[in-house]
Structure 1
């Protein structure tokens, strides 16, 4: 007879594996330095093309993005040309801890990103207390529901919120860094409280501060970045390094509280690097290739207003009190409505084009073909015409060069259907544009599009890389680097198997190196 292992999982959202390894080996991150010597470790892989928005949903289900349906903050409404905000409440796939809970195991789930709250959980859950860009910023969801008031009374609310809205000077970056350290410390205290509350079969907590600081402060870590400011860097220091050090200490403190008979996973989900991509140029590139008018003036006005909100602190100062009562309810109604104003803020000519962009975060550009039989006003027929169009468009995109470097701006163009199958495949972009991210993309040129120049309108200086980093130790797990990377889809079936629960439907596989130990005599 075997005894089910207890499992503890500590996540670090979007903490870059290269920085972790660099700073661990130099001694700045003693917890990770110790794990390199005492744990099994390996890089992890993410869903190609969609990992930015789908990595945590895929982790939580063991399913590929086209099986669970979530890949971006805004997704296409099927049968239309409109996109709508994708909320965690739109997510319908089974979470692996729900299955484990129903099997009688006791679970504690704290701040796993991009995941809806569960009901009737055999344990506790906290949703979006301190996550990056919380999906539920105005209310703390917990199970049991009475837990929310207890947490808010003891730990307060998230001091960060939507991290794009920081002031970008010495004082602003300093305050941002200090708030992130404070949140890291509170997350450690909150996690410790519930870790010690009882001997959970499954305990999970995720630190998100690495995600926020990577987006906003990459330029202060990278002297080659065009937005690097030596005066600010000298005054503020390196906020990314400071946050990694704080998280390293928090994880070290938690690991000391975990029993030796527990299987422990420490996962940096995916990475971070400079925000170099051409997604903000992609729609105009497609318009030029198709020789259609560029996006509507209304859309540019909307972008300008959004940019003003992000970049002008005085606007935020006067408008912030009104957001909760006016802007957010209006935004949510318009975002999911069929009213003309919603159309005006997107591309009203999309239905007459052969292809158009879909939101897919920024790392990969997303292109949707206007397909006959799928779109309301389809222009491209499935089959030979579809294949020929994809081939020509791919070549046209590959021909575009970065004027500053002379190199192509596109590394490759992927067809989604070559990499994915599943219930939601027809809801996704057809083509994925993987950018050459070796240098900033601002001025591009090709014989077909001429020269196009535009300044990146966003404020984030860092963006994601696909690979993560896993450390694992516990009964039966040998230390050292594993032979091959592990897919993010493999965690759900592996954790379930350690707890002697079988998941009914997963794309991932049980990781052989972490299978259930031999029977106990």
Structure 2
């Protein structure tokens, strides 16, 4: 690729679409329902992206912002295992210290606008302007802005973001109807805020995240998925097209943003993961590991035909603290949570993920992660307090034994396996925080509904529905790039979310740090000047 040493790097308009689903986007674009996305697809360069949603979904955005794999990040989830206490600890977004691409741009003298990046703290060295946690999804970072007066000015002109806590809602028509209206309103409001900032602030790179796609996917997926057990053709409450209407709203808003930015601006639109149905046994992993003999008791032995001795399926155990989520309305859950001191909120969180279990004396146990992917930690000598497993060959053998047992799990109704991929994180990632990650992650097969799982080792375990949400994350991201010099109608392959940060820096003519995991997309390159 030729490097242009004369032309000044273009301005960049970067639009992240949190958990927007590539399949739905492609379908509705081809049908003419999303004209601005269709132009991006047909007139620019596109690629699907490998993503950390396959192992650690909560790292998708931070890995995308920093161009780094999860082992280089200070946190992978807001509630993590603590090897010193053999318990749990809470990590806010401020625990993340690794610079994002906008920090590198700022160091090189570029002026950057950063609008509402979820699950990431405010920049400590930004040259430009920033809104943090104005309307970002599931973000613990402190609400703030740079300059400090900007948040107040935005809310005086435009108001607060209307969604609030996305999950403070029930799966009832009237609640979903209200949420639908607030999500659509939020998408349009975000677009108006961005255009006002684009017109009234100086910038070389403007970056915004639309969180509305994330919230709508969680709560409305069943309406677009005819295979979902809770799907219905009746649409008495006019909810069936909610995801489509949110995508249409965003299509309209980004179309106006692209027009405002002008033809000389390079536009990059991307998502770090997608959305699909949620079928999982993550909440049942503690019991599965116990049945396999990795807890304090010996493994349960099945009889010759692969069922447990009494020939009846086992009813899965339920963490009693999770029953509260099944019983209490979402709005009431959040009211109680927000009424408690922060220390009590953390205690409830730990009960929610750990129950009353004592992990001491267990060779392997389930640790917190996003529900769509289970996570397992091994008790390793020299790494974990009271470790039981020798590092090296024994560690590798136990990892493989667990993986073999998980791959044997099937849906007793269809005979299909329910585990899509088991990952050993020490083989997938590398970095100074590798020892803080789970040792094993379990990507469940979410391509079909299943309500039980069967093992030839312990028999059949009948699961319980424990979440009102019908959608969760899929490990497929995408990027669309359009601008002067960008090849038209080209589809790239073999790229990942790590490549976004590298591409932004490359287009800006800014040297990328040597420890970035990504490589620039071959869309345009300018001389590195700083």
TM-score (norm 1): 0.91
- Name the residue aligned to 1:201: 204
Q: Aligned-residue CA RMSD in angstroms?
A: 2.5
Q: What is the deviation of 1:199?
A: 4.2
Q: What is the deviation of 1:57?
A: 0.6
Which ranges in structure 2 are unaligned for 5 or more consecutive residues?
A: 1-5, 298-315
Runs of 4+ in 1 over 4 A off after TM superposition: 291-294, 341-345
CA contact (8 A) 1:82 1:343 kept: no
- Mapping of residues 157-176 of structure 1, within 5 Å: 157-176=160-179
* Residue-pair matches, total: 505
Residues 376-419 of structure 1: CA distance to partner in whole angstroms, max 9, x if unpaired?
Answer: 11111112222222222222112221112111222232211111
CA contact (8 A) 1:220 1:233 kept: no
* Higher mean C-alpha deviation, range 80-89 or range 268-277: 80-89
Distance 2:266 2:252 in 1: 20
Q: 2:471 aligns with which of 459, 462, 467?
A: 462
Which ranges in structure 1 are unaligned for 5 or more consecutive residues?
A: none
2:396 corresponds to 1:387? yes
Q: 2:36 aligns with which of 28, 31, 36?
A: 31
Q: 1:269 aligns with which of 267, 272, 279?
A: 272
Distance 1:257 1:292 in 2: 59
Distance 1:390 1:269 in 2: 28
TM-score (norm 2): 0.89
CA contact (8 A) 1:403 1:443 kept: yes
2:308 corresponds to 1:308? no
Q: What is the deviation of 1:17?
A: 0.4
CA contact (8 A) 2:17 2:210 kept: yes
Distance 1:229 1:482 in 2: 36
Q: 1:116 aligns with which of 105, 121, 132?
A: 121
CA contact (8 A) 2:173 2:237 kept: no
Residues 302-360 of structure 1: CA distance to partner in whole angstroms, max 9, x if unpaired?
Answer: 1122333345x5x45xx82x64342545314x479xxxx96995444211111001112
Residues 193-226 of structure 1: CA distance to partner in whole angstroms, max 9, x if unpaired?
Answer: 1111144111011111111010111011112211
CA contact (8 A) 2:284 2:317 kept: no
Distance 1:327 1:236 in 2: 37
Change (3 A) 1:514 1:71: farther
More helix by share: 1
2:489 corresponds to 1:480? yes
* Higher mean C-alpha deviation, range 88-97 or range 226-235: 226-235
Distance 1:249 1:125 in 2: 23
Question: Secondary structure of the equivalent of 2:526?
Answer: coil
2:156 corresponds to 1:142? no
Change (3 A) 1:292 1:426: closer
Residues 236-279 of structure 1: CA distance to partner in whole angstroms, max 9, x if unpaired?
Answer: 23211111111111111111101222111011332111111221
Question: Secondary structure of the equivalent of 1:182?
Answer: helix
2:444 corresponds to 1:444? no
Q: 1:326 aligns with which of 315, 340, 349?
A: 340
Residues 427-464 of structure 1: CA distance to partner in whole angstroms, max 9, x if unpaired?
Answer: 11111112222222321122322221121311210111
CA contact (8 A) 1:81 1:350 kept: yes
